[in-house]
Structure 1
Amino acid sequence: MRKKILGLLCFGLAWQALPVGAASLEGVSVSGFLTTGATYGDKQLLSTTEAVSQDGTIENTPGFTADSRLGLQISAKVNEDISITGQLLAKAREENSNVEADWAFINYRLSEQFSVRAGKIKFPTFLISDYYEVGYAYPWIRPPQEVYSANPITTLNGVDLLARFRFGDLSLLVQPYFGVSRGAQALVPQEAATAFPICFNGSTGLFGTCAAGKVVYTDFTADALRGINVSLSSDIFTVRAGSLETKVNAPGFGVFQDTAKFSSAGLTMDWHNVVLYSEYFEREISGGANVAFPNQKGSYTTLGYRIGKWLPHFTAARIKDNNNPTTPPPGFPIAGTPLDQKSSTLGLRYEAGSGAALKFEVQRVTPKEGTRGLLIANPRNAPKDPGDDVMIYGISLDVVF
């Protein structure tokens, strides 16, 4: 499995085409992936909605929008040094499942060690950022949201440098990048949305009354986005670390040129049937942008053991406050309200033949007392009660072709 994952990562970095089932015609390689999944949350947290997760995609009834998606990856070689790569993506959670160009870039090979990419590039924030949408490439139904929901920027419009060096069995990748983010949308925390009398929902393009339990998105941009990603890998493990800084603009909330900083580190290992993933992040955002993007830090660790075609695994995750200011920024009604929860997930992956995996998960979400965590509303209004925990069940089928 690790070799297939490394192959997917290499495709994302334009080193080679996806090695599973790729079709080729006159230098063009086409491959794809599909995930179809169902989820169910065991509690209806608000009487006004069946939503359980804060983005509304997991509900108190069986639903099929949280994880279902289809993607096509295309690569074409122009000449010995220039190639183009792109990905078309359709998500069930988005209206009408519109197909979008998730990323599209030109790769220019300067030498054996150095390449430059320009265009719409997958943003290298986490361990699996390059193949986040390819569910087959990792053990979970969805990556732990205590970490992976922390950065709403998924693509960069700009340039990056890929510098790869070999040291025996080790490979070092150094990836500085610079650019902007346009057309992104971020989920507005309910605490921030309800502090304003009128909300502009970026996903619908309409103004409306703010209320607890409403899913509200805001359009935002990121200027002068710059950072670096460094990873060291072998056939057994990958270690990565990265940091970035940018200027955030969210006109719908009166945010202009506020500084945002983000750093993360992670480790993945596949050794003698033992599978390990672990990541950590910190986010620091100043000014009015802190209201919609409060300072957070979070982590998770996943441990699994492969038994034939089966991979049982367990994940413990946490997201919490990162020294968030308690005084509202000038001109804003509240300070940023950090999300705080922990979760425990028991999962099982089954290899259903070449290029297909069936997954089952049971997750217990425990918001910190007095907070809602990553849920649609606050299930902890009073003294701590074990019954306030929320159970989320999921099943999915992932394929690559």
Structure 2
Amino acid sequence: MTKYITLLLPLLVAAPFSEAAIPLSDSLSVSGFGSTSVTRTDNAAPLFVHREIVDDTCFDCDTTFGLQADWQLSDAFRASLQVVKRPQDHWSDPEMEWGYLSYQFGGLNLKGGRLRIPLFLMSEYYYVGQTYPWARPPQEVYDSILGFTYFDGISALWLKELNDEAIVTLSPYYGFERNNTTRLGDETLTFDTNHMAGLSVELSGFNYRIHFGYMNTQYTLTSDPNPYQETLNIYTLGAEYSWDGWQLIAEAQTDKLQSNWYLSGAYTIDKFTPYLVYGESHHRRKSQSLTAGVRYDLTYTISLNAEWQGVYMARSDYDALNPGQFTVPSKRLGEDKDAQLFTLMLSFIF
């Protein structure tokens, strides 16, 4: 099992689609991924952070394209760079989602640079649609931190064998001071972040994964007319279990501003994977959603999702101008409190 841990560690710190990578030399490889969709709702209020899907047919609300280069500098040192055109980006202005140097010693891996925030089950491959069953990760949880996905700092990853069938990984991390800007509807929010520190713990076996995440951050919302310093403790818990064609996934996120969760079930029949997802958001955003879809794997590296999603809100929350999953309160725009979303998504890796 010790040999297995030594082999597993590089895979945990590399891309989850490394098998499709293109080798340029013995030590350098390039890989990529992307998603594009045709999507539409029956509500003119913009739906979902950074995607803002409305009642006009949209061909680029989900468009994502990324390139990653991995360079094995020596047996111990490795460098990785990932640049992504995210749904909110123009093609001329992609984002460097990560760029780091790592050092591996036995079961310990140290990284420094731009790193992915390890809060959720799908954090490391959030933009790689080919790696999860749905058209997009459930917004209740994955939009809970307003689309922020990376930090500039340091992290460590340590693996421990519990028995012949289970491995636990511990990953503390620390992010340095930086300004973070995001758009939410017509608003531009700027956060002057003092620090970002946390811990990721994961227990994994042959057909399951249990993930716990914690992050403490101190920031000032400088775009607010009356800015003040805020401290936030974020907790997440997720689990994934596969058995005889079934894939069950559940995650929850909570902090003093909100609580969110979802439950998903999928079943693979040859190249088809039908799935259902139910999710809820409370406090800061108040909504419920139900998603039904089917994924078809055209090849090992290309998949197609056809998906319907209903997003609902209580009348009292709508009247109180709670935004739910909209980027602005739908009542403020004179729109209905609920939305029906239809998506046809193509995802690929190479």
TM-score, normalized by length of structure 1? Answer: 0.78
Task: Provide the residue aligned with 1:13 in structure 2.
Answer: 13
User: Once the two structures are superposed, what CA deviation does each residue of 1:37-73 show, in whole Å capped at 9, x if it has no partner?
Assistant: 121001234xxxxx34465620111112321111011
Task: Provide the residue aligned with 1:210 in structure 2.
Answer: none
The structural deviation recorded for 1:169 is 1.9
Match of 1:314 among 276, 282, 289: 276
User: Once the two structures are superposed, what CA deviation does each residue of 1:311-359 show, in whole Å capped at 9, x if it has no partner?
Assistant: 00000000001xxxxxxxxxxxxxxxx2100000001100111211100
Cα gap change, 1:28 to 1:315, in 2 (>3 Å): same
CA–CA separation in structure 1 for the residues paired with 2:67 and 2:101: 17
Task: Provide the residue aligned with 1:38 in structure 2.
Answer: 38
Q: Name stretches of at least 5 consecutive residues in structure 1 with no aligned partner.
A: 1-6, 46-50, 189-213, 285-294, 322-337, 382-386
Task: Provide the residue aligned with 2:344 in structure 1.
Answer: 395
The structural deviation recorded for 1:215 is 2.3
Q: Secondary structure at the match of 1:19?
A: helix
Q: Secondary structure at the match of 1:130?
A: helix
The structural deviation recorded for 1:237 is 0.7
CA–CA separation in structure 1 for the residues paired with 2:76 and 2:8: 21
CA–CA separation in structure 1 for the residues paired with 2:8 and 2:326: 32
Task: Provide the residue aligned with 2:98 in structure 1.
Answer: 103
Q: Name stretches of at least 5 consecutive residues in structure 2 with no aligned partner.
A: 1-6
Cα gap change, 1:306 to 1:9, in 2 (>3 Å): farther
Task: Provide the residue aligned with 2:182 in structure 1.
Answer: 186
User: Once the two structures are superposed, what CA deviation does each residue of 1:88-133 show, in whole Å capped at 9, x if it has no partner?
Assistant: 1113432345222110011011x22111100001110100000000
Cα gap change, 1:123 to 1:52, in 2 (>3 Å): closer
Task: Provide the residue aligned with 2:3 in structure 1.
Answer: none
Count of paired positions: 333
The structural deviation recorded for 1:263 is 0.4
CA–CA separation in structure 1 for the residues paired with 2:52 and 2:129: 17
Task: Provide the residue aligned with 1:177 in structure 2.
Answer: 173
Cα gap change, 1:57 to 1:258, in 2 (>3 Å): same
CA–CA separation in structure 2 for the residues paired with 1:9 and 1:187: 36
What pairs with 1:181-330 in structure 2 (closer than 5 Å)? 182-188=178-184, 214-253=185-224, 254-284=226-256, 295-321=257-283
Which amino acid is the alignment partner of residue 268 of structure 2? Answer: R
Task: Provide the residue aligned with 1:23 in structure 2.
Answer: 23
Task: Provide the residue aligned with 1:168 in structure 2.
Answer: 164
CA–CA separation in structure 2 for the residues paired with 1:263 and 1:177: 15
Give the share of equivalent positions with the same residue, in percent.
24
What pairs with 1:132-147 in structure 2 (closer than 5 Å)? 132-147=126-141
Matched, 1:85 2:80: yes
CA–CA separation in structure 2 for the residues paired with 1:345 and 1:72: 30
Which amino acid is the alignment partner of residue 141 of structure 1? Answer: A
The structural deviation recorded for 1:10 is 6.0
CA–CA separation in structure 2 for the residues paired with 1:393 and 1:173: 38
Task: Provide the residue aligned with 2:124 in structure 1.
Answer: 130
Task: Provide the residue aligned with 1:335 in structure 2.
Answer: none
Matched, 1:373 2:328: no
The structural deviation recorded for 1:17 is 7.6
Cα gap change, 1:302 to 1:10, in 2 (>3 Å): farther
CA–CA separation in structure 2 for the residues paired with 1:158 and 1:343: 35
CA–CA separation in structure 2 for the residues paired with 1:181 and 1:352: 44
CA–CA separation in structure 2 for the residues paired with 1:308 and 1:16: 22
CA–CA separation in structure 2 for the residues paired with 1:8 and 1:80: 15
Cα gap change, 1:54 to 1:21, in 2 (>3 Å): closer
Q: Secondary structure at the match of 2:81?
A: strand
CA–CA separation in structure 2 for the residues paired with 1:100 and 1:377: 25
CA–CA separation in structure 1 for the residues paired with 2:44 and 2:96: 35
The structural deviation recorded for 1:363 is 0.3
CA–CA separation in structure 2 for the residues paired with 1:88 and 1:263: 28
Which amino acid is the alignment partner of residue 128 of structure 1? Answer: M
CA–CA separation in structure 2 for the residues paired with 1:280 and 1:150: 10
User: Once the two structures are superposed, what CA deviation does each residue of 1:215-260 show, in whole Å capped at 9, x if it has no partner?
Assistant: 2121213222111000011120100101111111221214343211
The structural deviation recorded for 1:379 is 4.8
CA RMSD of aligned residues (A): 2.3
The structural deviation recorded for 1:164 is 0.8
